[in-house]
């Protein structure tokens, strides 16, 4: 993939995030990673979505050096870089302050898997990070936020649970592409809303049984997945 194509994809993904209603004003961002080149394309800091153009997308290397573009990259860039370094299979990240997911993050409460809709996309409850210490915030707030996400995913597969709640802050999602990261943000917000409504109706509801979680996740993901369409040969 050419770098200019990646910038266009990231621009389109940011617009989709905005048009979906998951973000307002300049809140949130999407990035994409070109692993062969070692470059990340990311939304510039503080630029309104409705004014964003493909040429505004900023390119940085994995050390955070700006190597393309004339604007400052998102202030969340160090978080994105930490995730790209730690999760070698992802190539897109999205961040929002969507209301229901952010409410769980502010409450420092994971989103429990209460139904099959959640299990279709997230193999586990959506985890929440620990709160950063005062020293971590002072020394390098964004980088330490990224490290806290990586720490939370120790012994977890980030592609089976492609999202996290940063305590007192908001959600991050990821995927194999920037578009997939945005899709996962949409799903995360919806399952957070469903969980909140379910807990209002039945505060003592139990998590979904493991066998149902496994069934619904496997039918959507992995080598045995059968949800959706596959390309058939002409003689089939």
Query: pLDDT at position 226, please?
Result: 87
Q: Where are the beta strands (DSSP E) in the chain?
A: 29-34, 39-42, 58-61, 66-68, 92-95, 163-166, 170-175
User: What value does the mean pLDDT take over residues 53-59?
Assistant: 96
Residue 231 has pLDDT above 80, yes or no: no
Phi, psi at 4, each rounded to 5°: -65, -30
Q: Determine the average pLDDT of the residues in 45-52.
A: 94
Q: What is the pLDDT of residue 235?
A: 53
Give 72 or 228, the one with higher predicted confidence: 72
- Identify the active-site residue in 214, 226, 227, 235: 227
227 is annotated as an active-site residue = yes
Q: Is residue 13 predicted with pLDDT exceeding 50?
A: yes
Q: In the structure, what pLDDT confidence band is assigned to residue 232 with cuts at 50, 70 and 90?
A: low
- Cα separation of 41 and 108, whole Å? 30
pLDDT tens digits for range 115-136: 999 999 999 999 999 999 999 9
Annotated catalytic residue 120: yes
Write down the pLDDT at residue 224: 82
Nearest in space to 81 (alpha carbons), one of 178, 147, 21, 133: 147
d(CA 26, CA 52): 10
CA distances (Å), origin 92, targets 67, 162, 233: 19, 11, 32
For the chain, the average pLDDT equals 95
Q: How many CB atoms lie within 10 A of CB 116?
A: 14
Quote the Cα angle for 79-80-83, to 5°: 90
Q: Mean of the pLDDT values across residues 67-95?
A: 97
The one catalytic residue among 120, 141, 157, 235: 120
- Confidence at residue 236, expressed as pLDDT on a 0 to 100 scale: 44
Q: Are 178 and 32 in contact (CB under 8 A)?
A: yes
Tell me, what's the pLDDT at 228? 81
- Percent of the chain's residues with pLDDT above 90: 91
How far are the Cα atoms of 24, 112, 124, 151 from residue 116, in angstroms, in the given order?
A: 29, 11, 11, 27
pTM over 0.75: yes
Q: What is the structure's pLDDT at 45?
A: 96
Can you give the pLDDT at residue 3?
A: 83
**Helical axes 77-86 vs 134-152, angle rounded to 10°:** 40
Q: Which residue has the tokens 């806290």?
A: 148
Does residue 145 register a pLDDT over 60?
A: yes
Residue 212 reports pLDDT greater than 60? yes
């Amino acid at each position: 993939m050419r770098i200019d194509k990646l910038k266009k994809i990231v621009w389109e993904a940011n617009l989709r995030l905005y048009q979906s209603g998951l973000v307002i004003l300049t809140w949130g961002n999407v990035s994409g990673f070109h692993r062969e080149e070692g470059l990340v394309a990311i939304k510039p800091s503080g630029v309104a979505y409705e004014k964003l153009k493909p040429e505004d997308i900023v390119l940085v290397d994995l050390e955070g050096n700006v190597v393309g573009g004339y604007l400052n990259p998102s202030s969340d860039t160090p978080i994105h870089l930490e995730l790209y370094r730690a999760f070698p299979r992802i190539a897109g990240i999205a961040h929002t302050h969507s209301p229901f997911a952010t409410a769980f993050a502010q409450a420092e409460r994971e989103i429990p898997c209460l139904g099959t809709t959640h299990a279709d996309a997230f193999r586990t409850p959506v985890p929440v990070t620990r709160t950063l210490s005062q020293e971590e915030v002072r020394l390098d707030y964004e980088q330490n936020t990224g490290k806290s996400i990586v720490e939370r995913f120790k012994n977890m597969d980030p592609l089976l649970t492609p999202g996290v709640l940063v305590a007192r802050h908001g959600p991050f999602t990821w995927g194999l592409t920037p578009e997939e990261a945005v899709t996962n943000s949409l799903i995360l917000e919806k399952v957070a809303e469903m969980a909140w409504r379910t807990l209002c109706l039945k505060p003592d509801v139990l998590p979904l049984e493991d066998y149902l979680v496994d069934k619904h996740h496997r039918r959507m993901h992995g080598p045995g997945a059968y949800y959706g369409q596959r390309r058939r040969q002409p003689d089939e």
